[in-house]
């Protein structure tokens, strides 16, 4: 499809431009510059539905949706060049989609066009110290006082912590941690500069603005509640379902770069009088990297098509996320091996890719959680349910 091809080219252009510009900037400066680059290019418009000021969907998906194929088309080439460009693009969508999906129209109108333009930075607050894969353990509480909610608790591993202007955030409005979360959790829009909100940044293996968000009686007007009281888990899982395939696409972008780096190195580096690629052990590696990567790309295509058709596509999405992210780690690791000592020199391209790709097997549902989703669906089908 021409539209998707144009988005891939846009991603490559921004990636090529951004890669040298971002190198050497400190994390916050790099994050802000990366967001400026992706928003000036028009890419962030694809993170918000057309209905709320995003890009015209051109039939890729319904006008009140974010196109999964568009996100994948943009993320793979951005990741090829820079993890920071990739994360700053996707967080605009991940951090705002819950609002687009279930927020009150006046709030959507006020916030979402500015997210699409990159004027407001978005964050997504699910994870807590005791609630990771199991969101039923969320203990951050929201209590209603008149027309306002008061939120108290702590979130961790929140991308864009400290730089987000708005967070969509999951809190408990009834029940107790461990109750599974159905009917007892609610999503809210929380402003980054709200009284009582503080953040603490920490570092992960890849350049990625991330940290804790602490909420001490943060007040939110009821109109900034997202969706029904008790409907938060469904909204949060729907958001993950829309964006999870694009994590797989980003993984493929990292892996594609690693394969290209390996091809260049093994074709030119001579040992024992021949280029490394002439040794069958390494040549077979290249063939396997290529084949597995192509399989991952086709799984992403299948899942993204299904999501854009409006299907839940639990199995397709789980397969794509599981295989592409695990495979990308393997491909990047082989690339490090092909570079020998140079592969572990801090800051070399393949060393950076090896670190960049690791977190993708963990966030937005770990590999094990994808296996749970997929195996449950397979077993239920086999049992005729
Ligand atoms: C770079 C990065 C960015 C992130 N950004 C965000 C963000 O913006 N917003 C946000 O809310 N969160 C974010 N996260 C958090 C992320 O979603 C969680 O780390 C993830 O859901 C896993 O939770 P956990 O770390 O608590 O691990 P745990 O849930 O404690 O899991 C630990 C291990 O146990 C396994 N495990 C858990 N349950 C099962 C089971 N039932 N069966 C088999 N194995 C199981 C897991 O697969 C994992 O291997 C981010 C994380 C990272 C690393």
Q: Which domains does the chain have, with CATH numbers?
A: 2-116 (1.10.540.10), 122-230 (2.40.110.10), 234-382 (1.20.140.10)
Residue 161 pLDDT grade (very low, low, confident, very high; cuts 50, 70, 90)? very high
Model-level pTM greater than 0.85?
yes
**Beta-sheet strands, E only, within the chain:** 122-125, 141-145, 148-159, 166-172, 185-191, 197-202, 210-221, 225-226, 270-271, 274-275
**Among residues 234, 297, 351, 364, which one is catalytic?**
364
Distance 303 CA to ligand 1 centre (A): 22
Over the stretch 78-104, which tens digit does the pLDDT of each residue have?
999 999 999 999 999 999 999 999 999
Best of 133, 162, 365 to mutate for ligand 1, by most ligand atoms within 8 A of CB?
A: 133
Tokens of 76: 């793979």
Rounded Cα distance between 136 and 376, Å, is 19
Atom number in ligand 1 closest to CA 159:
8
Over the stretch 47-66, which tens digit does the pLDDT of each residue have?
999 999 999 998 999 999 99
Distance 204 CA to ligand 1 centre (A): 14
What backbone torsions phi and psi does residue 213 show, to the nearest 5 degrees?
-125, 120
pLDDT at 385 over 80: no
Ligand 1 site, residue 366, Cβ cutoff 6 A? yes
The helix (H) or strand (E) run that includes residue 307 is helix 280-308
Atom number in ligand 1 closest to CA 123:
8
Residue nearest to atom 16 of ligand 1 (CA): 363
148: number of Cβ within 10 Å: 13
Ligand 1 site, residue 136, Cβ cutoff 6 A? no
What is the average pLDDT across 214-235? 98
pLDDT at 366 over 80: yes
pLDDT at 136 over 90: yes
Atom number in ligand 1 closest to CA 160:
8
364 catalytically annotated: yes
pLDDT at 1 over 80: no
Instruction: Determine whether 183 is exposed, middle or buried from the number of CB atoms within 10 Å of its CB (0-12, 13-18, 19+).
Output: middle
- What count of Cα atoms within 13 Å lies in the side-chain half-sphere of residue 261? 27
Distance 359 CA to ligand 1 centre (A): 10
């Amino acid at each position: 499809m021409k539209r998707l091809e144009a988005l891939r080219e846009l991603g490559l252009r921004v990636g090529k431009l951004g890669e040298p510009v971002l190198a050497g900037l400190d994390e916050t400066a790099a994050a802000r510059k990366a967001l400026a680059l992706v928003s000036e290019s028009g890419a962030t418009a694809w993170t918000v539905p057309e209905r709320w000021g995003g890009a015209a969907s051109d039939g890729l998906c319904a006008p009140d949706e974010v196109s999964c194929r568009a996100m994948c088309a943009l993320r793979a080439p951005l990741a090829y060049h820079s993890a920071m460009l990739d994360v700053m693009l996707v967080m605009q969508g991940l951090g705002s989609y819950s609002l687009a999906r279930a927020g009150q129209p006046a709030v959507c109108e006020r916030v979402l066009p500015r997210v699409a333009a990159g004027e407001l930075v978005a964050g997504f607050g699910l994870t807590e110290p005791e609630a990771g894969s199991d969101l039923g353990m969320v203990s951050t509480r929201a209590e209603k006082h008149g027309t306002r909610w008061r939120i108290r608790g702590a979130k961790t591993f929140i991308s864009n912590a400290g730089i987000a202007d708005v967070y969509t955030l999951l809190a408990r409005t009834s029940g107790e941690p461990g109750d599974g979360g159905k009917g007892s959790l609610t999503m809210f829009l929380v402003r980054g500069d709200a009284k009582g909100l503080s953040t603490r940044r920490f570092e992960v293996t890849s350049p990625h603005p991330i940290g804790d968000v602490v909420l001490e009686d943060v007040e939110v007007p009821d109109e900034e509640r997202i969706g029904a009281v008790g409907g938060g888990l469904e909204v949060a899982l729907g958001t993950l379902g829309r964006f999870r395939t694009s994590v797989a696409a980003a993984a493929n972008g990292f892996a594609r770069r690693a394969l290209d780096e390996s091809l260049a190195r093994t074709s030119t580096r001579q040992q024992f009088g021949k280029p490394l690629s002439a040794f069958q052990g390494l040549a077979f590696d290249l063939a396997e990297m290529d084949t597995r990567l192509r399989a991952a790309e086709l799984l992403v295509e299948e899942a993204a098509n299904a999501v854009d058709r409006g299907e839940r596509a639990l199995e397709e999405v789980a397969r794509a996320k599981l295989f592409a992210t695990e495979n990308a780690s393997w491909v990047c690791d082989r690339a490090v091996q092909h570079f020998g000592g140079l592969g572990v020199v801090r800051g070399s391209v393949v060393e950076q890719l090896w670190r960049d790709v690791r977190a993708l097997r963990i966030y937005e549902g770990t590999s094990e959680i994808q296996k749970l989703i997929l195996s449950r669906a397979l077993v239920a089908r086999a049992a005729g349910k």
